[in-house]
Amino acid sequence: MKNLMLILWFFFFAFSCKTPLYMPGYFTKVKTIQLAKPLLKVDSIFFQKSAIVELELNHPQVDFRFSDDGWEVSSDSKKYDKSFNVSSTQTIRAKAFHKDFLSSETVSIDLIKVNSLAANAEISMSPLPSDSYIGAGAKTLADFKKGSMNFKDGNWLGFQSEIVTIDFGFLKKEKIESVGISFLRNNDAWIFSPKVIEIWIGGKMVKSKELPPTQKGRKASFSYEPIFFPVEHTDQVSIKILNLSQIPDWHPGKGTPPWFFIDEVFFNFRQ
């Protein structure tokens, strides 16, 4: 009887305490769980006047911070309260913060202001893209439609050639000072970035840009490569894209020709 009373007394004391007994695995220390990355949404990556940026994360009391000046995001960065407009080429970085959690990983997106110069050009390609990834033909490169990670969405041109040449003929001579090329990297789909991009004007190469090789384990991503050169007054520009001759040895497709996917080409010119 005495033992029974002791047991009952113990349970009464344990459950009447304001602070529960510690049981491993039932409670998590504050600041050991990381917030999910916020969703960074824009109405258009390529824009002529402005783009609208929004941040979203389904969690209460989250503090969004962002940067648009090239700096990394910290708790002292600009506070996000509502969607905002971007009117120049820039990179937006953002993170989520909460007093009870570790801050999220950084998300980022490149927003690119463009003009309609390429849309009015006559465009030809050699060789032609694969019949499986031909989009809307050459005009796919100047329709302001960013391709998605689904490279079968109709907004990409896919090539499996070691050299791809794209020629642009403009209605009149323009003072061109740079060319921007938007393409896709996706090792799992055997899609690689090119080795070199060359810009040719008037039968001479005005700029050559070598791109770093794609590393093993790199996640699928979009890439935009601006190529700057001394101003050229011209009505014709040729872009020569030199791709890998074969997939690297570290890849399951080693020894076979890689794919190259491109969705947009833009020109910057002086007024």
The values of phi and psi at residue 156, to 5°, are -115, 150
In the prediction, which pLDDT does 3 show? 52
CATH of domain 118-270: 2.60.120.1190
In the prediction, which pLDDT does 270 show? 64
The H or E element spanning position 14 is helix 2-16
Would you place residue 26 in the very low, low, confident or very high pLDDT band (cuts 50, 70, 90)?
very low
List 198's β-bridge partners, or say none.
208, 240
Contacts (Cβ under 8 Å, ≥6 apart) of 96: 35, 36, 37, 38, 57, 59, 62, 63, 64, 103, 104
Would you place residue 48 in the very low, low, confident or very high pLDDT band (cuts 50, 70, 90)?
confident
Could you please state the CATH topology (level 3) that the domain comprising 39-113 is classified under.
Immunoglobulin-like (2.60.40)
Fold agreement (39-113, 118-270): no
> Within its chain, how far is the Cα of 47 from the centroid?
15
Contacts (Cβ under 8 Å, ≥6 apart) of 205: 198, 199
Please name the amino acid found at residue 154: G
What average pLDDT does range 162-183 have in this prediction? 95
Q: CA nearest 86: which of 71, 69, 73?
A: 69
DSSP state of 29: -
CB-CB contact of 191 with 130 (8 Å): no
State how far the Cα of 66 lies from the Cα of 72, in Å rounded to an integer.
9
222, burial (CB in 10 Å: exposed 0-12, middle 13-18, buried 19+): middle
More confident residue, 16 or 173: 173
Q: CA nearest 222: which of 165, 263, 189, 254?
A: 263
- Average pLDDT over the chain reads 88
CB-CB contact of 196 with 208 (8 Å): yes
Query: Hey, where are the domains in the chain?
Result: 39-113, 118-270
pLDDT in tens, 72-84: 999 999 999 999 9
pLDDT in tens, 247-258: 999 999 999 999
Residue 97 CA: distances (Å) to CA of 36, 70, 88, 92, 102: 10, 19, 27, 17, 7
> Which three-class secondary structure state does DSSP give residue 44?
coil
In the prediction, which pLDDT does 119 show? 85
Residue 221 CA: distances (Å) to CA of 42, 90, 166, 246: 16, 17, 23, 20
For the chain, how big is the Rg over CA atoms in Å?
Answer: 27
Residue 161 CA: distances (Å) to CA of 8, 22, 124, 240: 82, 65, 16, 12
